[in-house]
Structure 1
Amino acid sequence: MKILMISDVYFPRVNGVSTSILTFTRSFIEQGHEVTLIAPDYPDVGEHEFEILRIPSCQVPLDPEDRFMHRRHIRRLLPELRRRDFNILHIHTPFVAHYAGTWLGKRLGVPVVVSYHTFFEAYLEKYIPWMPHSWLRALARSFSRNQCNAVDGVVSPSKQMLARLREYGVTRQAHVIPTGLDLEQFRGRASNTFRQRHDIPGDAFLCLYLGRVAHEKNIDFLIEMFEFLKHDIDRARLVIAGEGPALPGLKKQVQRLGMDDSVHFIGYLKPIEAVVDCYRASDVFVFASETETQGLVLLEAMACGTPVVSCACLGSEDVLKDGEGCLISSLDWQLFADRVIALANDDERRRQLSTAGLEYVRDWSTEAKSAEMLDFYCRVIDRRASLGQHEETDSYDSLDQQEMQP
């Protein structure tokens, strides 16, 4: 199969979308399929593992990590792309990539699928707090509905997110396919140098958040929770690994609470070995995002044997099972801190959760999830062919019986 993908983000920009694209693409290529990705150009992009068509782009205002691709440069690719005889086009993000992707799909005469990675209904409230939330919710729902109904198929990372899309009025063929985990990346021995490199005492009880440092990740909650935790466990430390627009405000919050010596902001970690060392050096992974469409970092932590304490909201509800590598908490500072304190005071319980987590993540292998994605591609292609290449796909009055399977 020849697969064309398009995304507004990709490495060196670190986030869940970039990870999802790379994870699926590696597996597709190993199975003999061809993948081409259209993505923004960045400074210092490094070498590519597969074919990437880098598009000249400009910086997004107020967000130095992200870039807008110039659509005219994407249009110029059309003659070459027509010669390639792609079977399907997969859109991964909802900005320039979405509109350029649907434009390309029509002109290439191929079915188009979209992955719904971002829960806009909650996302917008974090970035436009001055606008009435009811307006933002209506805007987000209309935006998501229109984009999803403009394509042939929709991929949702979780059952909860797909249920929301159906509530919005999304009627297209859809299936739940979370990103799989390349378990080999998280195996092997850790170097045990992480704490030394970051000046963290060997006897510290180390809590970790790893991911994009964005407003919707609810990291300010984790910092407030950590203040409760410190009252009971003075040796506790919190590491925040990542970068993003919320970073300046979080640093001010830590200073205001007088915890500069206990909270470590360490930026992004590269390569993957450094990420694994960070997970394994930590005693517990803490997570409080209410907007995740999946929450891949939760599985990564478990794959490294690190117990998780997290809320189970939206997509992370699909990932987490209490006692299977994690403890689930409500978003109450004291209750969340109590969960973490219980693990800090019980080495045997931490070992049990670690062992259970390592077993649990086996069901989330890359191989299984990429097979599901390829099967969905085939179903979308077959349905498009049965309707006629230039017909609009019709609405689905009821959910596909298989679409809600994880």
Structure 2
Amino acid sequence: MKLALITDAWHPQINGVVTTLHELVEALGPMGVQVSVLHPGQFKNRPCPGYAGIDLAVRPYKALAAMLDALQPEAVHIATEGPLGWAARKHCLKRGWKFTTAFHTKFPEILKAALRVPLFVGYGLFRHFHRPSSGVMVPTHGVLDMLKSRGFQALKPWTHGVDLGLFEHHAQPLDIPELKGHARPYALYVGRVSYEKNIDAYLDLKLPGTQIVCGVGPLEEQLKSRYPKVLWMGVLPRHKLAKVYAAADVFVFPSRNETFGLVMLEAMACGTPVAAYPVDGPLQVLGGSEGQVQGGVLSEDLRAAVEGCQAVSRSEARQRAEAFGWPKTVELFVKNLVPISTNQTGR
């Protein structure tokens, strides 16, 4: 199968969407799927206003349309709702091609937090974007139910996975040179330092030991000055990040607006339990929707969740992560794809 994957999120951006798509592309090859990734780096682009580190394509329709026509794909998947996503949507509709989309990020919540755009406006726009999709892939049942209640259609579950080889299990927290001299216990946050992540809820805990942040974003300098005792490690290569995960005593996930939360799986794969709020992403990752939380603690009192993680074994965290291996994730993605046309017309 020849698949065109269009995404506004790709390297050198660092976020869960990029990680998921990168791992997906790597895994699709051995299954006989020939993937062509169309991303902002192939077009004239500029930084997203107010969101440093994310570049967006500028007026990409003409170039993207020519690339898609030249590729002659058998299936098209539009991963994001940015400029490339809208351009690909437009061309598929023009050609009469069927396509799938994905709902990776609660951008309406980001728009509300960053620009005070009302939620109904953001979700109205996104509902319009996804309306012609033959399948909107959604990572959790909670998000699927939420989108369904907002009028979205053709929703298809698509859980995400974690690289269990890269993120190795460690029965005891590692001692690593990068953290030498810093007091334990280590509490870790990994992710964008941005509006929608609710990172203040983590930083305000003022936990004993050392609080660590791995990531960058538009609020980074402001928060560094407000929380000088926090260890800010910036962006780390994946192999080094895996060691930091494994060194942590607890992983704190303060976001309330995630569709999934891949970083929680990465932490748990290394054996580090997760403290989080009982909301969509954590409920899916830790299994809390059925009352059987595994691999961490969910509580509206984030400090209580952190303290409760002392009783969660590292083997339990790893066991939960193993339920999210990549083979199942990739198989489900391929199952959700649709041919651009049943008789391949409209090219």
Work out whether the TM-score is over 0.5.
Answer: yes
CA deviation map 1:271-328 (0-9, x unaligned): x210111101111101110000001111111101111111121232211135411111
Is 2:117 the partner of 1:124?
no
CA distance in structure 1 between the aligned counterparts of 2:274 and 2:169, rounded to whole angstroms = 20
In the alignment, structure 1 segments of 5+ residues that lack a partner are: 42-53, 231-235, 255-259, 391-406
The structure having more radius of gyration, on CA atoms, is 1
1:1-400 aligned at under 5 Å gives the runs 1-41=1-41, 54-72=42-60, 74-129=61-116, 136-171=118-153, 173-187=154-168, 195-201=176-182, 204-225=184-205, 227=206, 229-230=207-208, 236-254=209-227, 260-261=228-229, 263-270=230-237, 272-321=238-287, 323-330=293-300, 332=301, 336-344=302-310, 349-350=311-312, 352=313, 354-377=314-337, 380-381=338-339, 385=342
CA distance in structure 2 between the aligned counterparts of 1:144 and 1:81, rounded to whole angstroms = 23
CA deviation map 1:156-212 (0-9, x unaligned): 1111111121111112x221102211211112779x9874224543x5100000111
CA deviation map 1:54-87 (0-9, x unaligned): 2221222232211221334x52354453243211
Root-mean-square deviation over aligned CA pairs:
2.4
3-state SS, counterpart of residue 210 of structure 2? strand
CA distance in structure 1 between the aligned counterparts of 2:252 and 2:67, rounded to whole angstroms = 47
**1:40 Cα shift?**
1.3
Say how many residue pairs are matched.
Answer: 341
CA distance in structure 1 between the aligned counterparts of 2:139 and 2:49, rounded to whole angstroms = 29
**1:96 Cα shift?**
0.1
Closer, same or farther: CA 152–360 of 1 in aligned 2, 3 Å: same
Alpha-carbon contact 1:93-1:115 (below 8 Å) kept:
yes
**Amino acid corresponding to residue 137 of structure 2 in structure 1:** V
TM-score (norm 1): 0.78
Closer, same or farther: CA 38–343 of 1 in aligned 2, 3 Å: closer
Alpha-carbon contact 1:87-1:110 (below 8 Å) kept:
no
**Amino acid corresponding to residue 184 of structure 2 in structure 1:** A
CA distance in structure 2 between the aligned counterparts of 1:91 and 1:277, rounded to whole angstroms = 33
* Percentage of matched positions with identical amino acids: 26
